[in-house]
Amino acid sequence: MRQFMAEVWWSSLTAAGLGLLDMLDPTERSRLESFERPADGGRFLVGAALLRVAVASHAGIAPADVSVDRTCSECGAPHGAPRIVNPRMAAPWVSVSHSGVLIVVALSTKGPIGVDVQRIADLNDPATAAEWVQQEALFKARSGGPAAGGSVCELQAPLAGYAAAAALPAREDLDIAFLNWP
């Protein structure tokens, strides 16, 4: 069976700081200002920065030079799932998730990938946490596309009390490298 190369990058809210703003583009900075609760802004900030760090590391460019498009397919506002749109680059597929104090970014070079992390205490039924994150990850990998097949794997979150999963739309083995940032 073919191996499916992917990277999963973990970070946490403690990474949030004004220094990350330099990486963001004007659209991301104005989105950041729209959050009313500081924790929501912090999760977005670290997620946007981590996405850029992961793609930049993969592509050998600076984080600020990564071009991210979050145009929502429903309404056109910049709050949709991120896509990497750098010209002259074989852009990886990416997925971002955050919950509680954890932020995770998944990247793959061979096809759509979905990732989800969830603080278990925030769920109505904590017993369903593993199933919950797998469904969310699969949904993101399929991006609303055809629902046939798909493979999911459980991820070990770096903190206790969290469930996490990564998914591919096709039945291939996941060969995942794990990284922590910073």
Number of shown-chain residues binding Zn ion (CB under 5 A): 4
Phi, psi of 115 (to 5 degrees): -135, 145
Nearest CB to Zn ion, comparing residues 11 and 97: 97
Nearest CB to Zn ion, comparing residues 74 and 125: 74
Q: Give the contact letters, 14-33, x = binds to Zn ion (CB under 5 A), - = no.
A: --------------------
Nearest CB to Zn ion, comparing residues 75 and 160: 75
Structure tokens at 82: 């991120």
Return the residue of 72, 85, 121, 159 that touches Zn ion, per CB under 5 A.
72
- Contacts with Zn ion in 73-132 (CB under 5 A)? 74-75, 77
Rounded CA gap, 30 and 61, in Å?
24
> Footprint of Zn ion on this chain (CB under 5 A)?
72, 74-75, 77
